[in-house]
Amino acid sequence: MNLEQVLVNSGAKFRKEILAMPVVALEKTLKHMTIRKGVRGDETVGGYASGAELRPYKSDGKGATDTGAFFGRTLTTYLGDVVEEFDPYQLFSTVYGESFSSLTERKEADVVRDMALAMAKHVSSKLGKALFGAARTTPAGSTTMTLFDGFDTIAATEITAGNIGVAKGNYGEFDTITAANAGDVLKAIYASASDELKESENLKMYVSQAVLDKYEEWCLATLGAVAYNQTYAQNVLHFNRNVEIVPMVGLKGSSYIYFSTKDNMLVGMDQQSDAEKAKIRECDNPKALQFFMCLYWGVQFQSIKPEFLFVAKQTAASDPTVTGDNLIDGLAATAGSTVRTYATSDGSGVTAAVTTEGATWLTVSVSGNKVTFTRTAYAHAESGDNPRIATVRVSAKSGAAYLDVTVKQAMASE
């Protein structure tokens, strides 16, 4: 078998399978979305909403109403391409785990198909991440992340335009999810969505894998041995088993969480016309072949109305603080105690410790948010510091913040 010869022009033979590879490669992701084929460029998507309702029967005429309205959004797909040179013998070794020189009996057609699809799968690998994070650039960029606008980019644009917002009922900001609050935050997101959305079918909460990991930790620590908490893996909300939690590779590092339905998350592609191409051909490099593929791709929300979508954004909580007196000055030379009250913004209470080495004349104790500073007498000494100074660190019990307090005691006079 002449490997190079059989590969050249095989792209045309297996064109449909090659162009379908993005759908196959992203099966785990796309099964939670709706694929729209035959989209080249712009296509209007949306639906029809009506306020019509059943009423008591009227015998005096039709009394027709006209409350319906169509709503539409534009699903835009962009034509992208790849031109990649590859060593056919190295690719063969990767696909089959053996060198071409040690080729066992394999059908020529199988080899060609497997290798062509391997190249297409490699090219498609970046689309999963781009579904959310991609941002179309002008002039056109050189990566998948610049081919089209992903869901995060679309959402951010609509938030800026005021079409997605708290007042619209389709947006909210929530604490950054941790293993300590994951269940509570996801429940708050669900509660913030419209009743109409919560009554929909195929409800899904699209999250990053990190959010799902923290939710599973929260379930393990919080729910105990309830009937639905018998395994570590959790893929539905504990308070509504009809809402599937869907981890998306494209949401890695994203602050967004989407609560919607499969029908509302659209992925547009062509897959039907001759405008999409796939070829393997010879090139100027005598040691390589060239893989060429071009196809259409893009995403869109079918609707951003609160009946169809709720966008949640995790916001970084402000750094906690410890407040109170940071200077205790003018203490008498005699032994005694001074009490100060400190507060923490996260409500975790405080601890206190003397941090100045050798300052044995000062001790501290804590009761609630009150810190007692206890000093020994300070007798007059020719060589002593006047006043003597020590630092006490008052820390939040959460360990996230602290306040350094300077304590000064005067020396006794002669």
Q: What is the CATH number of the domain that holds 132?
A: 3.90.1690
Q: Which of 413, 364, 359 minimizes the C-alpha distance to 389?
A: 359
pLDDT at 162 over 80: yes
Domain boundary among 289, 315, 341: 315
> Is residue 405 assigned to a domain?
yes
Q: Are residues 127 and 169 in the same domain?
A: yes
Of residues 95 and 60, more confidence is placed in 60
Number of domains in the chain: 2
* Long-range contacts from 45-52, C-beta under 8 angstroms, 24+ separation: 45/72, 45/73, 45/74, 45/75, 45/266, 45/300, 45/302, 46/70, 46/71, 46/72, 46/73, 46/302, 46/303, 47/71, 47/302, 47/303, 49/305, 49/307
Q: Are residues 280 and 367 in the same domain?
A: no
Q: Are residues 297 and 370 in the same domain?
A: no
> Is residue 120 assigned to a domain?
yes
- What letter would DSSP give residue 127? H
> Is residue 51 assigned to a domain?
no
Q: Are residues 271 and 369 in the same domain?
A: no
> Is residue 60 assigned to a domain?
no
Q: Are residues 303 and 387 in the same domain?
A: no
- The mean pLDDT of 260-273, rounded to a whole number, is 93
- The mean pLDDT of 202-224, rounded to a whole number, is 90
pLDDT at 83 over 90: no
Domain boundary among 266, 290, 315: 315
pLDDT tens-digit series, residues 373-414: 999 999 988 788 899 999 999 998 877 789 999 999 999 987
Cα→Cα distances 204→255, 310, 338, Å: 17, 11, 57
pLDDT of residue 325: 95
Work out the mean pLDDT of the chain and round it to a whole number.
85
Of residues 97 and 264, more confidence is placed in 264
pLDDT at 322 over 80: yes
Q: Are residues 254 and 269 in the same domain?
A: yes
pLDDT of residue 112: 61
pLDDT of residue 21: 81
Assess contact for 292 and 279: CB atoms under 8 A.
yes
pLDDT of residue 45: 83
pLDDT at 50 over 90: no
Q: Which of 221, 213, 298, 308 minimizes the C-alpha distance to 252?
A: 213
pLDDT at 116 over 80: no
Q: Are residues 83 and 168 in the same domain?
A: yes
> Is residue 53 assigned to a domain?
no
Q: Are residues 303 and 400 in the same domain?
A: no
- Beta strand segments in 264-335, E: 265-269, 277-282, 289-301, 309-315, 322-323, 327-331
> Is residue 81 assigned to a domain?
yes
**Residue 197 phi, psi dihedral angles, 5° rounding:** -65, -45
| CATH number for the domain harbouring residue 379 | 2.60.40.10
> Is residue 67 assigned to a domain?
no
pLDDT tens-digit series, residues 228-260: 545 556 788 988 888 999 999 999 999 999 999
Distance of CA 140 to the CA centre of its chain: 25
pLDDT at 354 over 70: yes
- The mean pLDDT of 14-42, rounded to a whole number, is 87
Q: Are residues 167 and 204 in the same domain?
A: yes
Q: What is the C-alpha to C-alpha distance for residues 291 and 297, in angstroms, rounded to an integer? A: 19
> Is residue 64 assigned to a domain?
no
Q: Are residues 273 and 328 in the same domain?
A: no
Q: What is the C-alpha to C-alpha distance for residues 209 and 235, in angstroms, rounded to an integer? A: 11
Residue given tokens 């019990």 in the structure block: 397
pLDDT of residue 235: 86
Q: Identify the domain containing residue 126 by its residue range.
A: 3-46+72-315
pLDDT of residue 74: 92
pLDDT at 100 over 60: no
Q: Are residues 295 and 331 in the same domain?
A: no
SS3 category, 368 = coil
Q: Are residues 243 and 356 in the same domain?
A: no
